[in-house]
Structure 1
C-alpha cells in the first residue's frame, strides 16, 4: 500500500498538518510507503505566510483559494498518474479517496451566533462553504472521516445531500512527547510561568480567542482571586485587545500572555487545568495533549470534550457562560493535593487510550476496505 496525504502543510505543531504528520510517522513505522502533496507541490510556495491584521488575513485567503483551485487540478493529475496510490485529503483540495472533516465553517459560525453577519463579513467563509457543498454533494471522495460522532451528525445536517459513506476516527496524541512532569519539573515550570505559591494555575491554548471563549474564562477568573491564567496563542493585535479587557477587569497581575509559541508543554506542565470554553470544536488536539500531560480539562461539551472528559473525574464539562466556566474553575481550585493527583492520573489514563498508533491503524483499516 502507498498513501498520499494532501494538506497545505504537514509537520508537527501545525494544527491540521500535525495530524497528517503523526499519521505519516505511524504508517512509516509499520512499513507503509507514504507521500505528500502540499501547497509547495501545488506551486503556491511564493504566497506570503498568514499573519495578523488585514494583510495576514488576505494572505490566508490567497493560500486557501490557491490550494482549493490550482491544488485540486494538480493533485488530480498526480493521482491519475499513480492509480495504485490511496489518498487522504485533509484540507481545501477537491481530490482524494478519503476526506478528513476537520471542521465545518458554517457550523462554527452558527454556534457563535449572528450567523449571516459572520458569514458575509468574511468572503472566505462563503467560499469554503460553497466549495465543501461541492465536495460532499458530488461524490468527490469515496469516504469521509469525521473526528467525533457529533461532527458526523453536524455534517449530515449541514450537507444533507452527502453521497459517500462516513466514518468516525478521532485525532490522537503523542503520549511519548506529551507526558506528566515529575514533581521537580512541575515545580520548576510553575516558577518559570510566574505562578505564585498556592495559586490555581489555569492555561488557555488557542489562536481563535472569540470562538474558544477566552473572554468567558477571563471574566470567570476575575471573581476568583486564587486563580491565575496563562494565555498561550494569539497575534499582537489580539493580545492588545486582551490587555484592554484585563485593564477593565483589574486582573492584569493574574494573567500572563505568553503569545504564540511553538510548544505548549512548558505551560501545560505548570497547569492545574486547561480551560477551553469553546462555542465550536471539531476536535481540539490541545484537549488530548493536556490530558496526556496529566492536566484536567474544563471545557464546554463540544467537539472531542464529551468523548474524553469524564465530568468530575479527569475534568469538568460546563455551560458556555461566565457562571458555567466559573463553576469549573471553582471545582479545580477546591481540589486538595490528593484529589488533584487523582484527577491528573485519570487524565493521563484517558489520553493513553487515544495514542496515534491506535488512530493510524483505524485509517489503515478504512483504506484497506477501499483498496
Structure 2
C-alpha cells in the first residue's frame, strides 16, 4: 500500500480539521461487490473524524454519523443513460458546500476519483493498431453508450487542481499510467483493507456455519464468491470439480440472477449435486467460516477483496496470477497462496486443488500466512492513507484560491 499523496500533506492544523466529504457510489450495499464494500468500509472508518455524506441510488446501509442522500433513478436501463443521470444529479447536489467530493463512479466531477475497474479506453483500444484501432473508433463514434462512457472517463481523469486519482493495485496503476498519462503524477495506490474477525473460526463454528447455509457437514468445501460468475472464473472451476474426490463440494456466493443458467449446465451430471448456489449474502462471514479454501480463478480483478477477506479468516486461497488479479502482485506462490498461471486451464486448477486438499501441512501453512498477510491490510490503516489524500486535495484547492 503506497500513496503518492502521503508526502507533503500540509501542516498539523490541517490534519486536525473536520472535513465535509461527499461520497458517490450508485449502489451503497455490502451485497453490491468489492468496490461497494471498499467504499462502505472507508465511510465507516472516516465517519469517526469527518462529516460524511453518501450519494447513491440504492442504499442498504446505516452507520452513526453518516448522512445518506438517495439519488433518483428514473431510467435504470439502458445503463449508460442512468450513469449520465447519476453523474449530473450528483454534480448538481454537491457543486458547493463540500471540502472534498470523492467519486467511486464514472463522473466528471470530484477531487478524488477511486478506480476499481479497468478503464473503458483500455478495454477498447489496448493492443489494437492500424485499421483495427480505426474500426474501434468507428464503433465508439456510432455507439451513444460507448461515447458517453469514453467522454465521462476522459473528463474524470483530466488534469484539475486538487484532483487525485486513487487505484487499488500496482497493476492497475501501470495500466492507468499508460491509458491516461495526464493523471500519472497525482495517482496513488490505496489497496482495499480488511477487518480481522473478532472470533477465530473453530470446528464448532465451521459446523454451525454449514448448518446455517445448508452445506454438508462432513464434506470438504470449496468457496467461490463473485457477482459476475463468468468473469470471476466459475466455468473453469465447475470443469475442475469432477476431477476431484466425491467428498469435495462447491459453495457459490453471488448474484442470484445468474444461478439458473449455471444450474442448467449441471443438469444430468453426476456431480451437479455437489454444487450449492447460496445467492447474495448480506453477511459473507458464515461462508468463509464454512469453507476449507477459497478458489478465485478470476479473469479480471483489479484487486479482489474476496481474497483478502478469505485470508483474514485464515483460509488457504487459490487465485489467478497478477496478469488477471491485482492482489496476486502482493502474494507469494506456495508461501501465502497458490497462484494460477492460467485460470482458464481447468486441468491445472484441478491439480492445484488436489495438491492443497491432499496436504494438511500446506493447508495450515497457507492459512497461517494468509492471516499474517491480512493483518498488514486493516481498514484503520487504509483509512489514514485515504484521509491524507483528502487533505492533499483540500490544500491544493486552498493554494489555488490564496
- For normalisation by structure 2, the TM-score amounts to 0.77
Match of 2:338 among 291, 309, 316: 316
Partner of 1:276: 296
Partner of 1:54: none
Partner of 2:237: 217
Match of 2:168 among 147, 162, 170: 147
The structural deviation recorded for 1:208 is 0.4
Partners of 2:28 and 2:42 in 1: CA distance? 10
> Which one has a bigger Cα radius of gyration?
2
Partners of 2:289 and 2:197 in 1: CA distance? 14
Partner of 2:52: 34
The structural deviation recorded for 1:22 is 1.5
Partners of 2:148 and 2:389 in 1: CA distance? 30
Q: Give 5+ residue unaligned stretches, structure 1.
A: 51-57
The structural deviation recorded for 1:43 is 6.9
Partners of 1:233 and 1:28 in 2: CA distance? 28
Say which SS state the counterpart of residue 137 (structure 1) adopts.
Answer: coil
Match of 1:94 among 89, 93, 108: 108
Offset from partner CA, 1:265-324 (integer Å, 9 cap, x none)? 211111111111111112222111111111121110233331443322332110222123
Partners of 1:332 and 1:163 in 2: CA distance? 40
Partners of 1:60 and 1:235 in 2: CA distance? 20
> Map of 1:69-218 to 2, 5 A cutoff?
69-75=88-94, 77-78=95-96, 81-82=97-98, 85-106=99-120, 107=122, 124=145, 127-139=148-160, 142-162=163-183, 165-176=186-197, 180-196=200-216, 199-218=219-238
Cα 1:42/1:32, change in 2 over 3 Å: closer
Partners of 2:144 and 2:232 in 1: CA distance? 21
Q: Which moved more, 1:295-304 or 1:272-281?
A: 295-304
Which structure has the higher relative contact order (CA within 8 Å, separation 6+)? 2
The structural deviation recorded for 1:100 is 0.5
CA contact (8 A) 1:222 1:249 kept: no
Q: Give 5+ residue unaligned stretches, structure 2.
A: 1-16, 59-67, 396-402
How many residues of Structure 1 are paired with residues of Structure 2 in the alignment? 351
- For normalisation by structure 1, the TM-score amounts to 0.83
1:332 maps onto 2:356 in alignment: yes
